[in-house]
Chains A and B, each alone.
Chain A
Amino acid sequence: MLKAVKILTKMYDVPEGWTLRAYERAGGYQAARKAFGMTQAALVEEMKKANVRGRGGAGFPAGVKWGFMKPDPVKPAYLVVNADEGEPGTFKDRTLMEKDPHRCVEGSIIASYAIGAHVCYIYVRDELHLSKDRLWGAIREAKDKGYIGARPFGNDYAVDVFVHTGAGAYICGEETALLESLEGKRGEPRLKPPFPAQRGVFGCPTTVNNLETIAAVPTVVEMGGEAFSKLSSLHHLNDGGTRLFGVSGHVKKPGIFEACVGLTLRELIYDLGGGISSGELLGVIPGGSSCPVLLPSERVHAPDEKSVLHPWHGQSVLDVPLGVDTFRNLGTMLGTCCAIVFSDKTCPVAVMQNLMAFYRHESCGQCTPCREGTGWIDRIVTKLLQGTASLAEVDQIHDIGSGIMGNTICAFGEGAAMPALGLVRKFRRHFEDHANKKPCPAGGRLQA
């Protein structure tokens, strides 16, 4: 259901909305004042009731994650905000940092207090220079007012917020690679457990949250967790609130739109995105490139009344609300909620090649199945586009992909293998035609 709201995006159209003056005029920093009047346990409880599912891609309930933080007698705790925004197709966190950095800072202050941290690092990919400048500007303004520092809003609870930068590596969005990178090391993911709440950055208890997750925090405190959750039509599935939806590729009006959780792909593509720019819809990658593709012809098969998807049994997948559990049950993922759309003027083999070149380049190389597998698939698809690969090699993609799944240190492996397996299965005929050297109607091209 399309319920457009302006909460996270409240400041987006306000002139100089990134300044403290504009933010406070719109009621900014009242939530932080309120939060310091609450106990830390009460804040974690509100966050649980808010049903904010992590906006970084995995959809883990943020309140539950906060609840994992246990005070340590000697070690300090840290909040690390993930603004690495590297997942292809994803461009939502950038809008928050550029247009409403104070919301990000206020959320960081509240979350730091809630989890018992006195220091928060916001990890921003280096390329986002405007985002970093806006965040630093907001931090300076908040510091000058005494909202950050030794006594935020006059409370005896010191909070410092810093921006930290990467240096161009998609893998640093993975939370443990990000922590390594923050420690000044190569961004190589760690084996889990221990989880960050046990041993995070500098060996200390750490919460890693996506920037949009943190941006929701002031509103959760302001409205109360339950009211926030009930904005969503998937409140009953513990998937609450409002979030940013993105759409890019072959739509008439690509962009970032805020809506209550429960929006469908059809609404995102046609109502918000203005429909397909040229040709007919061929496929949609729902939430960043690591999510398996969906086709408009696919229908929900969920005859079992207990299935999460049963209410949409028989309907098009485009009409299922975008939720963490609904999309997992569709055999794909919600991911970052930023969809990539391609029309029938595009060659799906070329889509696969574009993505596999990305994964091949970005694999950190620690695990053999991931390092070798991404390169191998990339080579096969490249050969398919050149007309020099056989049908046997198309089948090999299944084996290579399955060989990566479950055999790697981090979820990058699955994130590369799942979209590959999805594309080769759902566009089998296109892959076969390329192997059989039939002319490609799209000419092996991506552009519509």
Chain B
Amino acid sequence: MPFVLSADRQREMTAILARYPNRQAACIPVLHLCQDQEGYVSEDAIIFVAEKLAMSPAQVKGIVTFYTLFNTEPVGKHQVWVCRTLSCALRGAQDIIAHCEKKLGVHVGQTTRDGKVTLRTAECLASCGTAPMMQVDKRYYENLTQAEVDRILDRILLDA
């Protein structure tokens, strides 16, 4: 089935396009809209974006694969990103990562079998003063302890 944006995202795309002197400049924001809708950027979404922005699908694909945050395959319902970079590592990020792996029963980069959570490590998320930290979907959780991680993960694992 060809990809289409929902009506409200379609309106959002129109607003985005009005901000730039050409269409291609809207590429990254529009790809975010597609990913918000589907959880990842599918081949069909790439063709959709290419058509809307007068680009070639290959160009769009080159962009999708360049940026870390675009998923090229389906991922879990919730995204857990634990920062692994120096300031967080100095304050126990490794233990937080190991704890998440154990609790979720997956390795970094994998999705839980029920499709609920994808666990990944992130590079510095500009939260170094409140390390260790992780991002769950659009929210930051800072000054983490293992107990705090348990509470956060329990909540999203319960979420149907």
Contacts and interface: CB of A to CB of B under 8 A. Distances in A.
B69 A167 contact: yes
B43 interface: no
Most buried by B among A88, A256, A351: A88
Interface string A5-36: 00000000000000000000000000000000
Given A127-B135, A338-B128, A361-B123, A88 B68 contact: no
Contacts of B67: 166-169, 187
B129 A447 contact: no
Interface stretch (B2-10, B20-28, B144-152): B20-28
A255 B129 contact: yes
A185 interface: yes
Contacts of B32: 126, 165, 167
Nearest to B29: A165
A43 B124 CA distance: 36
Interface residues of A, number: 55
B127 interface: yes
A181 B21 CA distance: 15
The interface size bin for chain B is 35 or more
Contacts of A202: 21-22, 25
Interface stretch (A89-97, A192-200, A223-231, A390-398): A89-97
Contacts of A338: 128
A162 interface: yes
Contact of A249 (B21, B29, B87): B87
Interface of A: 85-91, 93-94, 125-130, 162, 164-170, 181-187, 202, 246-250, 254-256, 285, 289, 338, 340, 342, 346, 351, 354-355, 357-358, 361-362, 446-448
Closest 3 CB pairs of A and B: A184-B27, A167-B67, A168-B68
23 contacts: A88-B123, A89-B86, A91-B130, A125-B126, A126-B32, A130-B140, A167-B32, A167-B68, A170-B123, A185-B24, A186-B66, A246-B129, A248-B129, A248-B131, A250-B91, A340-B87, A351-B86, A355-B86, A358-B124, A361-B123, A446-B89, A446-B90, A447-B92
Given A249-B87, A446-B90, 14 more contacts: A88-B85, A91-B130, A127-B126, A127-B135, A164-B19, A164-B29, A167-B70, A170-B123, A184-B28, A185-B24, A354-B89, A358-B123, A361-B123, A362-B123
